[in-house]
Structure 1
């Protein structure tokens, strides 16, 4: 691995101007591209003390063998050149945005003699009016199908149009009144263009005038006793209102804006964008990015904006762009967008009102997108097989780890210490085999000792279960092949701890791994593989090794380990919160006259939480078995006094006075 000192530029040789720099490896491949307001300041930071660098940045610097740069005039030019180079060189240490979907647009070809409405993809053409983008083509077709009965414009291809014109007979849409049939001269070119312009005006948000016009015509037809025409107009009005409902107003002031939000984990980030035009949501798009470098949320937002608007025409860029956090070079991004739009662009973080509410909706969609991406990835059999094979190779195992158990410890400042055990078989969770542990032999906040106790208790139970199964088989000789039975003879169900894992994963680094290995050694178990996954750097640690096993960021094996670790963490947190809620109820009820342990447990079981118990009336408490009206009143009064005291404490603390 090259030493950064061997290719560090000479002092004073790096300019202080804005620019873009490239790190290349020994084979000349560009591995990282970045931009800077001051090249000297930025590049000098890479060659400082390696211990002060982010671990991923440290790896990049040690992988590189050369750095060069290009000076530009402004930060906007640096922004554009950085994106160009990232697309050109595809550097391995830059975030990989993969927007591999071709998002459909609703297009109206106003540049033709007889305008046509259709689904459009790819590069935009001059003279065509676009609406969207939409997430699915069927969403466009549903909208068009509703509107064609009110705005019967042409939607057929040129081939169908010319064939109908030659035959003198319209297509099916012409017969069912979803096309004005300009192909057979039912309407003139000017009349058909007027219909198309009304369609585009409606799609642009001018809906009220068309609704009022149909209502007026319907009432007029009814007054003139033209009931069939009035019924047809009524149905048209219903279709129009249904189309309006599909595009509900989110901004009352008719704002044009794009709303961008992110959902992240240590390996990936999901990007979602809602396009709002004339106050209505007109489209949605999104993609998933691999987080290869140490980019923060602000960097991800900046790169997402450049990916989104690069190559777009000025009409596709709205006057307002809402983001979860501002990019570090927000002024440069605004200037770049302004140059493309030809006018000033507002780039800001919404704080309140409708725009903040929509931002929260987009964030929820981004989180859902990331969950769906992970679920799809985890459910694929080929991907799971590849992940298990990668783990087998990386950890030097004899066989693929078909059964993996992962352990995590959770506590709050050393109180209510619990641990979790989750089980994955063939890369999928086996939730019926999850287990919880309450740590009692450890004082205070000591995750290492807690992990040692958890592993000891779990595998002591394994040995006990196997011994019990062996004894049962000896007593029932002749019923089997001599191997220990994994079924409980009394219940006929699998023994809780009788299955031995292929791999044990602990949440943590070398200290937790060493504690788990010590527990296994003390029990005389030497045939179970063990590793730890450190949360901060996603490094895989194995016992007795000074350096971690580094799996590629795109590795399916690393993704599987991360998913198992996150599931163990979720399960441990849930158990910890449940016990903390229970302890809060019990502590709040301590000292209530006539309330012993049995009654406290009955209250907890009936109401489930302290919040619900405090909100209960005397009659509701009296419904709990073992409680009378007098005892129920005592409980309600005690909890009400406790709540008032807590409220008074918080109020007076806010003013600087603490009351007992």
Structure 2
């Protein structure tokens, strides 16, 4: 571990101009790349006293052995240079994008004599018009299959087209009705170009004039009894409507915008990009990000936009970009994107009302699902789980890997309805049939609650009977409520690792309960949420697991599961309590209690409601509303 003071440059040596800085480690490897409007002001933050730095920043500066900087002419140049170096050098402390794959596009080769439609991942075809990206390659093929029914343009390869034009025989796709180019012998090059123009126009904006035109021509053909032509127009209309149904209208016509939804925690982030063209979602992209340093949402937004657009073609950058929070360097970012686009100003903003807010919420929901899926798949990897358990064993000095982990969390609402949860992970996977939920009658604080819960749980490791056994002479958990979902023997099975949600105070309370129980052979640790630090008993400093490590990922998942389980039980208790209180009011039966809770959505809103607001609920008159209001205020 290096001392930052050994390589700290003098303040007068650091310029005050904009630039890009690089922290380097042993062997000259670049550990972190950043940009600054004022290099001196930014770098001075890294050389503050170590105890004032964020843990991840402290790890970076103590891992580094030197710092360098490059002065540039403007903030825009700094933004461009930072992105270039991050992509080229792949510094370990910068944001890492897990998904670097390219996405499939639909391309129309307008530079060809007879343009063709094709599926490609190459976004640098000269003269091509691109649509997408699409999430899956089959989605592009489905769209093309529908479109060529309405706009029969060329789909054959260049070699097939050349051979067909030289021989005068249709290409093979043309023989089976899959190619509508001049090589099929059905249209001229000029007629084909007109169809291609219509194809592009419809894909660019899903113009309704094509469906209107097809409807008119179908009716006209039917009136003159040209039923074959009417059938062709009917098929074309059905194909156009199918494409329109696949691209739901979400914004006003002719709106071109990209929307980015984010969901992130201390270790990872998921990004969901909705590509809207002509008022319709034309493509989606999603990727996950590993966060080595602690970055907030605005900075994550900035790095994501750079990643999404720095190598994109001009056609891929819209005029409007909607994000959950604007970056600090908003003006510079907009200038950078506008220069990349080459025409008009690009606006990066937060959606505030209407359909854009609704679509942003949908993007966020998708990002949440992506992050959950990423965590689930990562935890389902046997090799990763084995490595995590081995790393935990080494970090905590255990004799064996913790094949059974129990984690405890406490939840309450302003000191009321105090509950706790116990979750069990075996071989790195949750064992939900062995989860437990505790009700705590009274407690002074979270440490006292932890002590109570562990005292009651550890009693079963001394041979006490399970609460499910009716003949039990004594029940160590009788002072509170336990809802058990496990078989009797499972509660007495000891864990190798016992985790609590919290830092040193919670660990000390758990250690006291462990010592009082007389149980031995259990390793104890706590995880503090803000910095993801692992605290062990009788230690002045936490154990720091590497960011992005499988060990920290597993411990965080166990802690989050305990928190979720405790919160869900606490909410159930609150709903149960308020229903019981309301049920004591004369004239207020179960159906009316349900109507009240449904109308106000939460107990807190119902408690703060006025008598008149309560009386507006169906079936609740002024007299009953007054009784409800008085009962809740006096409760």
- Please give the alpha-carbon distance, in whole angstroms, between the structure 2 residues aligned to 1:334 and 1:173: 46
SS in 2 for 1:148: helix
Give me the TM-score of the superposition, normalised by structure 2. 0.88
Is the Cα–Cα contact under 8 Å of residues 114 and 181 in structure 2 kept in the other structure?
no
C-alpha deviation, 1:11, in angstroms: 3.1
* Deviation at residue 638 of structure 1 after TM alignment: 6.8
Instruction: Determine whether 1:375 maps to 2:376.
Output: yes
Q: Shift of residue 468 of structure 1?
A: 11
Per-residue deviation, residues 415-452 of structure 1 (Å, max 9, x unmatched)? 11110001112222111211111112523xx1111111
Taking the TM superposition and a 5 Å limit, the aligned residue runs for 1:54-73 are 54-73=54-73
2:530 corresponds in structure 1 to 536
1:251/1:506 Cα in 2 relative to 1: closer, same or farther (>3 Å)? same
Larger-Rg structure: 1
- Residue 351 of structure 2 aligns with which residue? 350
Gaps in structure 1 of 5+ consecutive residues:
473-490, 616-632, 650-658
Residue 550 (structure 1) shift: 1.6
Q: Please state whether the residue corresponding to 1:497 is helix, strand or coil.
A: helix
Q: What displacement does 1:640 show? A: 2.2
SS of residue matched to 2:463: helix
Structure 2: stretches of 5+ with no match in the other structure: 472-484, 602-617
Number of the residue aligned with 2:223 = 223
Counterpart-to-counterpart distance in 2, 1:152 and 1:642: 72
Residue in structure 1 matched with residue 298 of structure 2 by the alignment? 298
Residues 106, 131 of structure 2: 8 Å contact kept: yes
- What residue number does 2:261 align with? 261
Cross-structure match for 1:448: 447
8 Å contact 1:581–1:609 — kept in the other structure? no
Residue 334 of structure 1 and its aligned partner are, at CA, apart by: 0.9
How many Å apart are 1:544 and its aligned residue?
2.6
Q: Where does residue 399 of structure 1 map in the other structure?
A: 400
Per the TM alignment, residue 154 of structure 1 is displaced from its structure 2 partner at its CA by 1.2
Q: Does structure 2 conserve the Cα–Cα contact (< 8 Å) formed by 1:589 and 1:635?
A: no
Structure 1 residue 28: Cα displacement? 2.2
Structure-2 change in CA distance of 1:252 and 1:116 (3 Å): same
Aligned residue pairs: how many? 602
Q: 2:195 & 2:226 partners in 1: Cα distance? A: 23
Give 2:476's aligned residue.
Answer: none
2-side partners of 1:451 and 1:291: how far apart? 31
Which residue of structure 2 aligns with residue 481 of structure 1?
Answer: none
How much does 1:275 deviate? Answer: 1.2
Deviation per residue, 1:450-494 (Å, 9 max, x gap): 11111110111232347999xx9xxxxxxxxxxxxxxxxxx9954
Alpha-carbon displacement from aligned partner over 1:292-342 (angstroms, at most 9, x marks no partner): 012111000000111111122322211111111000100110111122223
Equivalent residue for 2:573? 579
Deviation at 1:356, TM superposition (A): 1.5
- Give the conservation status (yes or no) of the 8 Å contact 1:614–1:636: no
**Deviation string, structure 1 residues 64-120 (Cα, Å, up to 9, x no partner):** 222221111211111111112212222222111233221011000111112110111
- Residue 389 of structure 1: aligned partner: 390
From the superposition, tell whether residues 612 and 367 of structure 1 become closer, same or farther in structure 2 (CA, over 3 Å). Answer: closer
Q: Is the 8 A contact 1:207 1:244 kept in 2?
A: no
* Structure-1-length-normalised TM-score: 0.85
Aligned partners of 2:524 and 2:428: how far apart in 1? Answer: 17
Q: 1:569 aligns with which of 563, 566, 578?
A: 563
Instruction: Answer whether contact 1:267 1:290 (CA < 8 A) is retained.
Output: yes
Aligned mates of 2:237, 2:230 — CA distance in 1: 10
Answer yes or no: is the 8 Å Cα contact 2:255–2:277 preserved in 1: yes
* C-alpha contact 1:392 1:399 (8 A) present in aligned 2: yes
Contact 1:152–1:177 (CA under 8 A) maintained in structure 2: no
Give 1:637 shift: 7.5
Cα root mean square deviation, aligned: 2.9
Question: What's the counterpart of residue 79 of structure 2?
Answer: 79
Decide whether aligned partners of structure 1 residues 295 and 92 sit closer, same or farther in structure 2, where only a CA change above 3 A counts: same
